[in-house]
Amino acid sequence: MSASSKLPQSVAWTLETFQGQPELRQAGDKLGAGVRADWKSLRLPDGANSLRAQPLGRAAGKDIRTAVDATAGLGYDTYALALLGVEVLALERNAKVFALLAAELARAQNDEQLRAVAARISIEHVSAHQRLPTLRARGALTLPSFTARGFVLPDMILLDPMFGGQRGAAKPSKEIQALCATVGADLDADALLDMAIAAATQRVVVKRARLAPPLAARAPNWTIKGKLLRFDVYRGGAG
Ligand SMILES: C[S@@+](CC[C@H](N)C(=O)[O-])C[C@H]1O[C@@H](n2cnc3c(N)ncnc32)[C@H](O)[C@@H]1O
């Protein structure tokens, strides 16, 4: 079965605005009941400490200070990395998904609880296929510690392309359905692996469904397994 045939089938989701906030809605959804990013819904009772013990935190390791989340989606992993103290540049190519990501970042920047973490995040509406190869050439990472501490290239690059319908348990299924229907399978994702390895100084982390084949059929250097997901880790080639 191909990746795309595993995607949940559903009627179109349209990008609508309610009370100034964008949301993805299906026919019949009430105003305000559409899908948005909601970083506060990540249940982390002990904040960064909870995260460090989770697979993403373990895959990132302790020494990562700068990262590019090359397939940002609704930004949950971006937010999680930022909560760990990492400065993150998040890339998203789908215009509808980017609208939700941008709205959530703006919301977080105005939220007392999230503001400090949000300050470590910047976002770009761009394809990682185009942006990753420019990181070295342009040295164009503008987050404070990328520049102030002389980092030209990120310590870590995270890849989480759409593979099929299976996602992590942290997000409600309505979000997953909306993402699958809006984005489809990222069938061109294999090419990102070499680009990411070339641009990351320490590691590339690829989030996969537990039983999915490795990205680009390339065996990782090591793997961290979660209940539904696994994180394949590759050594960065730009160190
Ligand atoms: C599975 S979602 C990511 C979910 C995300 N990790 C989160 O925590 O919310 C994959 C996203 O990557 C985006 N994407 C896939 N390939 C991309 C590329 N080459 N450049 C930028 N975004 C990409 C898709 O549009 C989709 O929104």
**Per-residue pLDDT tens digits of the chain, which is 239 residues long:** 333 444 445 578 999 999 999 999 998 899 999 999 999 998 787 888 889 999 999 999 999 999 999 999 999 999 999 999 999 999 999 999 999 999 999 999 999 999 999 999 999 999 999 999 988 755 556 666 565 555 578 999 999 999 864 454 454 578 888 999 999 899 999 999 999 999 999 999 999 999 999 999 999 999 999 988 999 999 999 87
Chain mean position to CA 28: 29
Confidence (pTM): 0.91
**Superfamily of the domain at 45-172+183-235:** Vaccinia Virus protein VP39 (3.40.50.150)
Question: Which residue has its alpha carbon closest to ligand 1 atom 5?
Answer: 73
Report pLDDT for 15: 96
Question: Which residue has its alpha carbon closest to ligand 1 atom 1?
Answer: 162
103-143 confidence digits (pLDDT tens): 999 999 999 999 999 999 999 999 999 999 988 755 556 66
Question: Which residue has its alpha carbon closest to ligand 1 atom 13?
Answer: 71
90-108 confidence digits (pLDDT tens): 999 999 999 999 999 999 9
Q: Where are the domains of the chain?
A: 45-172+183-235
Nearest alpha-carbon partner for 163 in 9, 1, 4:
4
Residue 106: CB partners within 8 Å, gap ≥ 6?
A: none
Ligand 1 neighbourhood includes 165 CB (under 6 angstroms): no
Ligand 1 neighbourhood includes 160 CB (under 6 angstroms): yes
Question: Which residue has its alpha carbon closest to ligand 1 atom 2?
Answer: 73
Burial of 137 (0-12, 13-18, 19+ CB in 10 A): exposed
Query: How far is the centre of ligand 1, averaged over its atoms, from the C-alpha of 161 (Å)?
Result: 5
C-alpha distance across the termini of the chain, in Å = 38
